[in-house]
Amino acid sequence: MGILDGKVAVVTGAGQGLGRVEALELARNGASVVVNDLGVAADGSGSSEEPARAVVNEIEAAGGKAATAFGDVADWDAARRIVRTAVDTFGDLHILVNNAGFSRDGMIVKMSEDQFDSVLRVHVKGHFCMIKHTMDFWREKSKAEGGAPLYGRLISTASDAFLMGNLGQPNYAAAKGGITFLTLSAARECQRFGATANVVLPRARTRMTDSGPWAAIFQKPEEGFDQFAPEHVGPVVAWLASPHAAHVSGNLLQVWGKHVRVFERPQAALDHENEVEWSVDELQKVLGPFFEGKKPIEDSFALPMA
């Protein structure tokens, strides 16, 4: 018996990396899983059905249930068909885990319009299309059942790139910020169905971290504990998808190795009401001391080096 027995999940970008790990973990806990993947390279080029089929075979070989769905998550109609694949194949949809995406890195001064647009499309629009069609299904299901609460879990994959403003990844950082606040909005909207929505911020070795400025940090160690192995992320996603997290919604959970960190909504660092109307001099009296000694870019979210 698994904690997700009888539940149906869609995992996008599940043919490789984090998505594969999460699909396997959900199946291990009893969920029937629709494995969505276009089989593209790390920069979004090419396509192959083999990665998704391999994950389905892996799940079935372990005694689980799975099906493939090859649609582009950022295509409106294709996203709807992915949702319908879950419903038509397994009779329902309870869990949506959004992972699909790619990166096309570059400095702002050298970035092309296509580099920016394509990354925003797959991440932000891709998350939106899948969330939209999933919530449409839940809304209609709730209506048909007289407004009764249902079992629904939206889990989005962002990155602390949007917290740090990663150098050389302005498109990716912007996309992950968009995903985060899209999901927080969804959390408010889907609570009327009894559903939840949360964001996972993985620090893991994937195709998006095996090159660029962070590659050395995420490299697999020759010996000892591998804190950036993607397998550490799977249980967090399974927990959010489980009945244990029925009351957990609108949060950001960061995970790497044996570490988990929960971010709540942004909190004010300074809240001051002045006695007189603002002028440059009055602002300097308040803001000057507050910012004195602070770095231009706060590095409080820096990656652990150990």
Query: Which residue in the list 32, 103, 156, 159 is annotated as catalytic?
Result: 159
Is 295 an active-site residue?
no
Confidence label for 216 from pLDDT (cuts 50, 70 and 90): low
Query: Which residue in the list 142, 151, 176, 242 is annotated as catalytic?
Result: 176
- pLDDT at residue 8, rounded to an integer: 98
134-157 pLDDT per residue, tens:
999 999 999 998 888 899 999 999
Instruction: Give residue for tokens 């319908």.
Output: 84
**What is the arithmetic mean of pLDDT over 106-134?**
95
180-213 pLDDT per residue, tens:
999 999 999 999 989 999 999 998 666 665 655 5
Highest mean pLDDT among 140-144, 160-164, 264-268: 140-144
**Residues, the chain, total?**
306
- pLDDT at residue 123, rounded to an integer: 94
- pLDDT at residue 281, rounded to an integer: 96
Is 151 an active-site residue?
no
Q: Give Dmax (Cα) for the chain.
A: 71
Tell me how far CA of residue 215 lies from CA of 171, 212, 303, 305, in angstroms: 18, 6, 12, 12
Torsion over CA of 145, 149, 153 and 158, rounded to 10 degrees? 120
User: What are the boundaries of each domain within the chain?
Assistant: 8-263
Whether pTM exceeds 0.85? yes
> What CATH number was assigned to the domain covering residues 8-263?
3.40.50.720
Three-state SS letters, 94-135: CEEEECCCCCCCCCHHHCCHHHHHHHHHHHHHHHHHHHHHHH
- pLDDT at residue 203, rounded to an integer: 84
- pLDDT at residue 204, rounded to an integer: 65
- pLDDT at residue 215, rounded to an integer: 61
- Percentage of the chain lying above the pLDDT 70 cut: 89
- Which tokens sit at 58? 């892996």
55-86 pLDDT per residue, tens:
999 999 999 999 999 999 999 999 999 999 99
Query: Which residue in the list 7, 103, 118, 172 is annotated as catalytic?
Result: 172
**Angstrom distance (rounded) from CA 115 to CA 159:** 18
Tell me the pLDDT of the chain averaged across its residues: 88
Is 112 an active-site residue?
no
Confidence label for 132 from pLDDT (cuts 50, 70 and 90): very high
Output b/e per residue, 170-193; b: 16+ Cβ within 10 A.
bbbbbbbbbbbebbbebbeebeeb
| pLDDT at position 246 over 70 | yes
